[in-house]
Chain A
Amino acid sequence: MVISNKPLRFIVATLVVCLPFFSFANPASEVANTQTEVAQPATATASGEVKTETTEVKSKIKEFIDHHLLDAHDFTFSANEETGEHYGFSLPIILWDNGLHVFSSSKFNHGEAIAESDGNYYVLHHEKIYKTAADGVLTENETTGHPTNATPLDLSITKSVVGILGIAVLMFLLFTSLAKSYSKNGGIASGAGRFFEPLVLYVRDEIAIPNIGQKHYKKYMSYLLTIFFFIFFLNILGLTPLGFNVTGNIAITASLALLTYVITTLSANKNYWGHIFWMPGVPTPMKFILAPIELLGTIIKPFSLMIRLYANILAGHVVLMSIIGLMFIFKNWIGSSLSFGLAFALSILEILVAFLQAYIFTMLSALYFGAGNEEHHHEEAH
């Protein structure tokens, strides 16, 4: 379906159509504000009150962003601050602390209560679980300010784990049905497969074959396709209002990079190791200098993969949420519509970044696999 032949004009028109909602929505709330101010005789001067209110809003937005970037032990869509109500659902907490402890995260009451399980007491402090005595007091390290309490091994199904499991199930169903549709329709993809077939072919023809080579590419295809779609779907999931931040979590990108490192190391041939430990074609003293540098290089490559994906997604989330936060600082229709327009444009850019980062991660992984499978070049003099 073609929405419009002129996409730019269509976007501008949509923005203009949305403007009245903002301009009408805000004066009403301002009126409400002035009414409550009139109702409560203010002790402080009006300007001072406004100033403290804006700094409060700023620190609240900062707190909200910081909270979003962390993994969460419960799934909260939104929270009502005045009543303290949280809309969402609890997730299971699984702890290994001299035995398995399984209980629901509702016991923590969003970090406000002490959870009790088989005579042990746990508190949630900045999304980390600490073991405490029955009174739930955390002892703090004086220099760093971090709690010194013991931390049990946390194997909980957190929000990120829910995201990963959801995407894994989705990918399994999607690609098995795509594979089945080929046999049913006589080699033609059907339904959603028509969208994913070009992407799969793109990974094969543009990423795997040019970088790994016609001879070896097949054994890496399953891994390359898996990480490509896994990262792509998780990046897109991070842009939905569900509030996932999975690929912006360094633990997850670290495990993905570790997989690439392990596969490169285990599947490399003897030319690869020869070029690392005994670089051909250079003077002998130089070989001793190059060996540690090359060995370090094998670790730096996956390390940069990890940092790149993590930092790109994290930066995208922080910038997008800060721009949405501007709406609550300005509190007038110009600020709101500006913030809305910027957030809209940035979201589109983030979709591009979501694809680009998945592409770069897959591409560089393929490049490293290709380097591990390079054949010896006889025509070169070394």
Chain B
Amino acid sequence: MEIPKIVGAGLIVIGAGMGIGRIGGSAMDAIARQPEASGKIQTAMLIAAALIEGIGFAALFAS
């Protein structure tokens, strides 16, 4: 029972990492295109990253 749990948690953490990476990258793109909207983009980016991070931590606690 232990190993599938740990592997599953690892997979979720990989997914969460990729998700946060994509959010960060896309936000960089967006800020480069429209530097004057950087404040709004940052706020939206942080909210989305925080939501994904919550899932990652939930996976770590379930393992």
The docked-state distance in angstroms from the alpha carbon of A367 to that of B53 is 17
A364: CB under 8 A from chain B?
yes
Output the nearest chain A residue to B47 by Cβ-Cβ distance.
Answer: A363
Which of the 9-residue segments A144-152, A274-282, A303-311 touches chain B? Answer: A303-311
- Tell whether, in the assembled complex, residue A304 and residue B47 are in contact, meaning their CB atoms are under 8 Å apart: no
The docked-state distance in angstroms from the alpha carbon of A308 to that of B60 is 11
Nearest CB on A from B44, distance (A): 10
Q: Which residues of A contact B18 (CB under 8 A)?
A: none
A229: CB under 8 A from chain B?
no
Nearest CB on A from B12, distance (A): 13
Residues 204 to 231 of chain A near chain B (Cβ within 8 Å): 206, 210
- Tell whether, in the assembled complex, residue A364 and residue B58 are in contact, meaning their CB atoms are under 8 Å apart: no
Q: Which residues of B contact A356 (CB under 8 A)?
A: 46
Output the nearest chain A residue to B51 by Cβ-Cβ distance.
Answer: A304
Output the nearest chain A residue to B53 by Cβ-Cβ distance.
Answer: A308
Q: Which residues of A contact B51 (CB under 8 A)?
A: 304
The docked-state distance in angstroms from the alpha carbon of A382 to that of B39 is 32
B54: CB under 8 A from chain A?
yes
Q: Which residues of A contact B37 (CB under 8 A)?
A: none
Candidates A210, A305, A311, A359; contact of B46 at CB < 8 Å: A359
The docked-state distance in angstroms from the alpha carbon of A96 to that of B58 is 34
A360: CB under 8 A from chain B?
yes
Output the nearest chain A residue to B40 by Cβ-Cβ distance.
Answer: A210
The docked-state distance in angstroms from the alpha carbon of A363 to that of B42 is 13
Candidates A304, A359, A363, A367; contact of B54 at CB < 8 Å: A304
B43: CB under 8 A from chain A?
yes
- Tell whether, in the assembled complex, residue A308 and residue B46 are in contact, meaning their CB atoms are under 8 Å apart: no
- DSSP majority for the A interface? helix
Output the nearest chain A residue to B49 by Cβ-Cβ distance.
Answer: A360
Q: Which residues of A contact B47 (CB under 8 A)?
A: 360, 363-364, 367
Q: Which residues of B contact A307 (CB under 8 A)?
A: 54, 57-58, 61
The docked-state distance in angstroms from the alpha carbon of A210 to that of B39 is 12
Contact status of A364 and B43, CB under 8 A, knowing A304-B58, A307-B57, A308-B57: no
Residues 5 to 63 of chain B near chain A (Cβ within 8 Å): 39, 43, 46-47, 50-51, 53-55, 57-58, 60-61
Nearest CB on A from B43, distance (A): 7
The docked-state distance in angstroms from the alpha carbon of A206 to that of B54 is 22
Nearest CB on A from B58, distance (A): 6
The docked-state distance in angstroms from the alpha carbon of A184 to that of B3 is 65
- Tell whether, in the assembled complex, residue B60 and residue A360 are in contact, meaning their CB atoms are under 8 Å apart: no
The docked-state distance in angstroms from the alpha carbon of A359 to that of B45 is 13
Nearest CB on A from B45, distance (A): 12
- Tell whether, in the assembled complex, residue A311 and residue B43 are in contact, meaning their CB atoms are under 8 Å apart: no
The docked-state distance in angstroms from the alpha carbon of A207 to that of B56 is 25
Q: Which residues of A contact B61 (CB under 8 A)?
A: 307, 311
- Tell whether, in the assembled complex, residue A364 and residue B57 are in contact, meaning their CB atoms are under 8 Å apart: no
- Tell whether, in the assembled complex, residue A360 and residue B57 are in contact, meaning their CB atoms are under 8 Å apart: no
- Tell whether, in the assembled complex, residue A360 and residue B46 are in contact, meaning their CB atoms are under 8 Å apart: yes
Can you show 24 pairs from A to B with CB atoms below 8 A apart? A206-B39, A206-B43, A210-B43, A304-B55, A304-B58, A307-B54, A307-B57, A307-B58, A308-B50, A308-B53, A311-B60, A311-B61, A312-B57, A356-B46, A359-B46, A360-B47, A360-B50, A363-B43, A363-B46, A363-B47, A363-B50, A364-B47, A364-B50, A367-B47
Residues of chain B whose beta carbon lies under 8 Å from any beta carbon of chain A: 39, 43, 46-47, 50-51, 53-55, 57-58, 60-61
10 smallest A-B Cβ distances: which pairs?
A304-B54, A311-B57, A360-B50, A308-B54, A307-B57, A307-B58, A307-B54, A308-B57, A308-B53, A360-B46
- In addition to A206-B39, A210-B43, 12 A-B residue pairs with Cβ atoms within 8 Å of each other are A206-B43, A304-B54, A307-B54, A307-B61, A308-B54, A311-B57, A312-B53, A312-B57, A356-B46, A363-B43, A363-B47, A363-B50
